[in-house]
Amino acid sequence: MSRLIFSVLILFATGCAEVKPWQRGNLARPSMAFDPDPLESKMQQHLYQSKEGGFGGYGIGGGGCGCS
């Protein structure tokens, strides 16, 4: 029983807060994007491929086998 009470109390202690649809202005900023500059990212990937022979792992085609 005490475990149950503890579990319920823990749920109340979480730091979750709901962000309303109209409060997402900051999240919508370009700087908050996962990839704010796709061109720059592509350049970086090209550099790694040329210098280190490493490729992939960025959510694009190729699994890093070096066979592309």
Partner 1 sequence: MRYIFLLASIVIFTRQAVAISEGQSVPAQIFSLANGDALSISKFQGQVVYLDFWASWCGPCKRSLPWLQEIAERFKERGLRVVAVNLDQNSVDGQKFIRELGLKALEVHFDPDGVSAEAFSVDSMPSSVLIDKSGKVRAVLHGFRESEKEELVTKIEGLL
The least CB distance from residue 58 to partner 1, in Å, is: 25
Rule CB under 8 A: choose which of 13, 15, 16, 38 binds partner 1: 16
Confirm or reject binding of residue 13 to partner 1 (CB under 8 A): no
Confirm or reject binding of residue 21 to partner 1 (CB under 8 A): yes
Round to whole Å and give the CA distance between 45 and 22. 36
Rule CB under 8 A: choose which of 2, 19, 22, 59 binds partner 1: 22
Rank residues 25 and 38 by Cβ distance to partner 1 and give the closer one: 25
Identify whether the C-beta of residue 45 lies closer than 8 Å to the C-beta of residue 58. yes
Identify whether the C-beta of residue 41 lies closer than 8 Å to the C-beta of residue 58. yes
Round to whole Å and give the CA distance between 27 and 19. 10
